[in-house]
Structure 1
Amino acid sequence: MAAAGWMLLLAALLSPAFTEAHNHSGETDTYHVSAGHLFLLNCLFVDAHTNVTWSREGGHDRSLPTGVEVRDGLLWFLPVQVSHNGSYTCEKRNKSGSLRATLRVSVSSGKCPDPPETKSITLGVSERIYCKQDEILNLNNSRNIRWMKDCRSMEPAEHISVGESGSMRLSARSEGDAGKYTCLVDISLNGRTYTAARSIQLTVNKNTVISAPSVISPQQEVVVVEEGARAELKCKALIGFMEDKETLMYWTVNDKDSDEHEELKVSCSFHRDRGHVYGLSNLSISKVRRQFLNVPISCCVANSAGNSVGVVWLQEADHSALYTRVALCLASSLAVLLLAASVQFFRVDLVLAHRKLLRRFSKQAPDGKLYDAYVSFLPPGGPSSAETAALALRILPEQLEKQHGYSLYIRGRDDCPGEAVHDAIAATVRKCRRLIIILSPDVKSSADGKTEEAPLRDDQNQLSYEQKVGLHDALTRKDPRVILVEINGPVDYSCLPESLRYIRRKQGALKWNKTSCRTNKLNKFCSNRNFWKNLRYRMPSVPTGRFQSVV
């Protein structure tokens, strides 16, 4: 029996089940967690679809404690409690045997768990630190990832950035960047918010690494300069995280050192900004020579790790665009002046044409006036009186009334005998839109209506009264407007009332010249077109519906 028993024991030791369990036991892995946090424990050799059994080591009761449950092969701590401290075993069984692994959970009462690993980075070198909570991050739940250093919230910094996966990129600028970094993941489960945490200890290696420099600017830039003028070029380069005393910055012109030109002066300086070292170099050109134009001017930076070059080109200023703009401005100004002069020169024709268009497309509102103009003149009795009467009684009506449709009131033609002269004159003048006063060189009166040479006749007193009434209304109410017509030479206004002198100074007078008149049968009236155009220009617009012939 002794021999048989030894044979059975040897067979048991050599069985596949015992061999698998023995080969996969190994050393116990330890996980550091903090009480109050969510924690998921994964059996290393199984996946989410494997049927695995979890148990707690130690004591006679191997059942899982309260708050710990198995979901899809993972051991969930909802959340971790101090009583959950201990070792947990996962076991997988199949036809060939079983696999077992023991994992230790070390629970601390602090806010941040103890770091299970230590990572060392080189001073000034950028490193990525991973959250290493794949079980939590793989859950299809909304989450928020944040980092803490030495269990304190981290302030935003340029040398620290966090990616979408939760990994943190850190460029250690000093030994003060060393410490305990904790990745916190806030996740919502079943209406509750849990936080999972994992820490890592970071140390900074004091050994520095020299990196190759890089020219930031210029980069194939073009600078416009004036030949013979002064110019200054600037170069900026990133040296690295640490200043290297062997770093050189220099300039070349068409691949020749700047020291070969006495017009060129170079200055260099280095400074630190947000953990990086930058080099600045200025190239001063006291006088831009022709040989400096359209050739590569290079800013070169070199150290033991490498070199970098930035190129700038000097280009002579092109004044053709400026000359074109100046020419266009001058041409535009000249065109505006010519247009203004043309408008001023053809102002009368433009206004008359505009009135003609308005008569076709718009209606003139009634103003209560009966006549377009009141014609005032000195009846026959002086050297020029016959010509004045001919202009007032024959020529003006033929041109203004028959040719252009105006309505005139002419004293001596339209007044009624026996009516109260002064009352009729005042009433009629106020019914007219214009007051045409015809003056000749032999009209001389004083301000009170008396001539300097002889007493005034009744007609002259009436003329004086016409002018007084019309001029008074024209100056006080600007209605009617006055049109002065001088016939046969200049008029001496010094002997006329101040009101007439004022109107003459303000708006001038139209001049009627008998020598411009024709006496042929085709045109028995005067062909002084400028006079008639200017007179019609000062007259009001002919109301719509009146007869008007085109001349």
Structure 2
Amino acid sequence: MSMQLFPLLLCLTYLASHKAELCEDYGVDYDRAYASDGQPVYISCPLNYAQMKHDFNVTWYINGSQTQVSADTQSRIHQNGNLIKFLPARLDDTEYYACVIRNSTYCIRQLKKLEVFKNDEGLCYNNGIMFLSEEFTSLSKTINCPYLDDYVDVKKAEIKWFKECQPLDLSSDKYFASNDDLTLKNVTQKDEGNYTCEVSFEYNAKEFTISRAIDFSTRVQPLISAPVITYPKNNIMSVQTGSYLSLTCEVLYSGDVVDIVWSYNETLVDDYYADSRVVLEDPHYALLPDGHRIATRNLNFSEIKEEDYNRKFFCEVYSPVNPKAYVILKHPDTNFQGFLIAFFVVLVFVTIISIIAIKIFKVDIVLLYRSSCFVQRNIQDGKVYDAYIMSPKSTYNMDMFVLKLLPEVLERQCGYRLFIFGRDELPGEAMADLIDETISQSRRLVIVLGNTSSENRLENDFEQQIAMYDALIRNKIKVILIELEKITDYTNMPESIKYIKQKQGVIRWKGQFTESSLSPKTNFWKNVRYLMPPTQGLYSQDCDHITSEHV
């Protein structure tokens, strides 16, 4: 049974992942949730899902992944409505949690950070994580125990109050507790300090206790300054058609509460837009440590339409100064990412094909290039011959190849100049001097090999030694090895021949001594020409269809 369910589970996982990828991502909510280790905490979804037109559902995921939070209310961590409940929270619960809201046509997600902390040693609170209650000096002030409504009915709950972790005598005339408020009478600077409220409640037949730590301080009334709009600053914002958008107006002020409005074309937006597509939220207020206040008010678009572009949406503060700032919506810039990806894929593909083609047709490409007008000819390198031909003597096939085929193809048709020992030396010349001088005047050394029998070995040891010394030791001349017959055993070959074969390989003659074997366009002659230097004159008409001009 479990094996039958496994493919189904994989399918559901894929569908969930695919669906999640289509969600519009709103990043991380700037407002974090905090909880003391061992105490319960509820986290509500930070998204404004109430503005969605159709039925929707809220789903929570752990760490922004596809691990869905359990809906089992008996589980320590479970989802209940739009809340995640931790009963209780633990240190390793510190994590990002993703709230995803979906209906049949719409999906948005946002991360919420939970930080679970330990109380400072010997204290009932953590100094780094406290609610602030900063009041200006007056006869009486009220401290609120925040965020209890999701846990208890504050009108019926019994809330205990502490100062510096010591219980307060709520029966004295100094304090008055009502619901989730603690009122301090005749407030002085001595009343400053860390206050803690604590309440117990029952959930799933288990009792839990939650507490809130409040840093209460008194301040002198600050000087009243004109309100300042900190955002927007006459911004231009790119937004996609059909997407959700929330515009925030943030105002820094002191003194009395300010009134923030959003307008377009001198008309309030809630009057201009009659439908529910554009909604103006209620303002929110917060107190800063320096005594100033922050007021924010959001203008939410459930769906951006064409009519919203290139309009100035003004945020305005009703005050004597009357500051004003605007946001203009525009279409996003063209996204070239897809084009660039396709371009680089094609570029890589073309590069790979080019490398393969060059490797396969390398010889033809080089020969074609040499026959072009881009190759410099008549190079003055002091050389007389294009190649010195070395071969065993006194076999018919060897003489036919060396004395007839090589001169016919390389000299007559392709314009090379060869020195063939046994054909080009003059009678009476000193052999040692002739070989040394001729090899030094050649650009290549061509060694034609027969089989390994004793009668076909290189006969002239002196000639061989000079040539090998010149090619391998002084590195003046490049060597081309040609096998006239297939040689399977190089045991009896000189060490120099073995080294050259191992280093650069050989070219094997597979043809017959016929008319067709005289064509320089066969693979054998192409490979020989590839290893030969470029001719010093133009190729003959038979070699590469170019007019003959031999040096």
Report the structure number with the largest CA radius of gyration: 1
TM-score band w.r.t. shorter chain: 0.3 to 0.5
Q: TM-score, normalized by length of structure 2?
A: 0.45
Q: TM-score, normalized by length of structure 1?
A: 0.45
